[in-house]
Homo-oligomer: A and B are copies of this chain.
Amino acid sequence: MVVSTINGTSPLSHSNGTTIPLSTFSRNSFVNVEKGDPVAFRPYWEKVRDECTVEIKGDEWMSDLGDTNNLCWYMVPQMRDAILRLHNVVGNAVTKDKFLVLGTGSSHRPINVVAAAPYYSEYKDATDILQSRLFQWTGDAALYDKDEPYIEVVTSPNNPDGTLRVPVVNSGVEGKIIYDLAYYWPQYTPITYQLDHDVMVFTFSKCTGHAGSRIGWAFVKDIEVAKKMITFVQLNSIGVSRESQIRAAKMIGVICDGYKNLKSIESDHLFFYYSKRLMKERWEKFKGAIEKSKVFTLTKYPTSYCHFNKDLSEQYPAFAWLKCLEGIKDGESYLEKLKIRTRGGARFGVDAKYVRVSMICTEDEFIELCTRLSNAKRE
């Protein structure tokens, strides 16, 4: 048995923001899979680091104006073009006849806000902190029965449980529906349809793994809704960082270039091939560990045809949603004893026997996670 005070601490941070994963965790250090920082795809970006380099000179991108001809005035044309190109390559959303609104990843904050449980834990927090007279978090969409206007957030694939979703509110009045499609990318789920909803929200972070850039966008059918979203971003932060836009546009460009004139879609040089292979391998390993542990059960996902990958495929969600077997009432506390930090069901509006586990952590964290889970019984 090795006891070490140096090894096993959290990964060291480089001054340039990259991380050196330590090869071993000590028995006493935690594996933190509570948050969803999408660091799993870093090795891909390390391989293409030079072609993705952006250089910004002192006098470039100074103004807060992006494109005065666009309704979304703080969006630079390169960013707009990159987003449209990406959806064109992936085929996950209809972009025609819609307004593109750029945000900081939080432009969806809606009157009576509901989402079917389990729902993303930050929705409640974000709505509550603003203590808004316009917006209030009203909780589980399945239980909403007031005859008042509402907004239902439909996250599909869902965070935390990865399931594909449709609206569930059954109310006497018509509500607005926001589709949060943060995880509707080929590495997580088969691209079954080119979605065409009134309000569809995406984030750069979960697509490529660049969480630090804080870039999100929405496709909006109604110009009045689009204008309100733009005003919100405008008053909140007078737009979106120009540096982030330039960089996001570059990264998306590199991804899309890979799919130009290509001979095969099976190559680790292609971002979605690489990232899907990674997710698939992790899920297979993870399922093995869960089976060995005999302590948890996992959500079952259907197999569907993916129009992007041109094959039948399972889902490989960014989070695993574990249900503890009889006898374990609080999954988060149970895993805490195994030195695994997770987010418990209560945060998502469901029973504490559920826990959410990040599948997009570093490789070292993931390996240690699987080891600890498969040894769960013995503790």
Using a CB–CB distance below 8 Å, which chain A residues touch chain B?
A: 10, 13, 15-19, 37, 39, 42, 45-46, 48-65, 67-68, 76-78, 104-106, 122, 125-126, 129-134, 205, 209-214, 231-232, 235-244, 246-247, 251, 254
- Cβ contacts A to B, 8 pairs, < 8 Å: A17-B76, A39-B63, A105-B237, A126-B236, A214-B237, A214-B238, A241-B243, A243-B243
Known pairs A49-B59, A62-B209, A243-B246 / 18 extra A-B pairs, C-beta < 8 Å? A17-B61, A37-B63, A45-B62, A49-B60, A63-B211, A63-B212, A104-B104, A104-B236, A105-B238, A106-B237, A106-B238, A125-B235, A130-B130, A131-B134, A213-B242, A214-B242, A243-B244, A244-B244
- Indicate if the CB atoms of B58 and A55 lie closer than 8 Å: no
For A125, list chain B residues within 8 Å (CB).
235
- Indicate if the CB atoms of B232 and A214 lie closer than 8 Å: no
- 3 shortest A-B CB distances, which residue pairs? A52-B58, A212-B242, A104-B237
Q: How far is the CA of A130 from the CA of B240 in the complex (A)?
A: 18
- Indicate if the CB atoms of A212 and B131 lie closer than 8 Å: no
Given A17-B61, A244-B243, A126 and B235 touching (CB < 8 A)?
Answer: yes
For A104, list chain B residues within 8 Å (CB).
104, 236-237, 241
Given A132-B131, A214-B238, A50 and B57 touching (CB < 8 A)?
Answer: yes
For A243, list chain B residues within 8 Å (CB).
212-213, 241, 243-244, 246-247
For A129, list chain B residues within 8 Å (CB).
231-232, 235
Number of copies of this kind of chain in the complex? 2
For A247, list chain B residues within 8 Å (CB).
56, 243
Closest to A250 in B: B58
For A10, list chain B residues within 8 Å (CB).
68
* Central interface residue in A10, A106, A125, A244, by most chain B CB within 10 Å: A244
What is the CB-to-nearest-CB distance from A275 to chain B, in angstroms, rounded to a whole number? 13
Given A235-B122, A243-B247, A58 and B132 touching (CB < 8 A)?
Answer: no
- Indicate if the CB atoms of B58 and A48 lie closer than 8 Å: yes
For A55, list chain B residues within 8 Å (CB).
53-55
For A18, list chain B residues within 8 Å (CB).
59-60
Q: How far is the CA of A122 from the CA of B213 in the complex (A)?
A: 26
Q: How far is the CA of A214 from the CA of B244 in the complex (A)?
A: 10
Closest to A104 in B: B237
For A133, list chain B residues within 8 Å (CB).
131-133
Given A50-B58, A132-B132, A241 and B254 touching (CB < 8 A)?
Answer: no
Q: How far is the CA of A214 from the CA of B102 in the complex (A)?
A: 14
For A60, list chain B residues within 8 Å (CB).
16-18, 49
For A78, list chain B residues within 8 Å (CB).
15
* Central interface residue in A104, A211, A212, A242, by most chain B CB within 10 Å: A212
Q: How far is the CA of A68 from the CA of B235 in the complex (A)?
A: 29
